[in-house]
Amino acid sequence: MILAAISAPAAAGTVRLTQADATSAHAPRGPLNTLDDIRIAIAGCWQWPPVDLVVDGIELSLRISFKRNGEILSARITYESQLISASERVLYHRSLINALTLCSPLPITDALGNAIAGRPFLFHFQDTRRQRKA
């Protein structure tokens, strides 16, 4: 199971990524004109490490902002689980770098670029694939 959320507190509240959104990695296809388009694009860029290589899922928050042209202006991990191994952390960080590389620049419209430029987005990723549930 995968749960990931993205919020844009300075821009437009909170939107959520679904599990179906985040199953395979591919470059975003534009033009993106809404926050929901960004949500889908970001989800599409993300690929979790193989489940067999991780024992405990990570919980990770990323603060990120974009330029008007969709390039990443800044990105910073603001929180991540402590109870994972160093090797697992490397795998998740590699996934993160791959996703950010794949996503930049976001193919956004000029209007959306003007709306989001410089504003912080908070992405929250939680890998729950190993959780056992009813």
Binding site for other proteins (CB under 8 A): 1, 56-57, 128-134
Two structure tokens written together for 118: 């410089």
Considering the complex, what minimum distance in angstroms separates the CB of residue 51 from other proteins?
A: 8
Token pair, residue 27, equals 């470059």
Compute the least distance from the CB of residue 53 to other proteins, in Å.
15
Q: Name which of 2 and 38 has its Cβ closer to other proteins.
A: 2
Which CB, 83 or 86, lies closer to other proteins? 83
Give min distance, CB of 36 to other proteins, in A: 26
C-alpha span between 15 and 3 (Å, rounded): 12
Q: How far is the CB of 83 from other proteins (least distance, A)?
A: 8
User: What string of DSSP letters covers 20-83?
Assistant: GGGSS-----S-B-SHHHHHHHHHHH--PPPGGG-SS--EEEEEEEE-TTS-EEEEEEEEE-SS
Residue with tokens 């042209």: 69
- Identity of the residue, 23 or 69, whose beta carbon is nearer to other proteins in the bound complex: 23
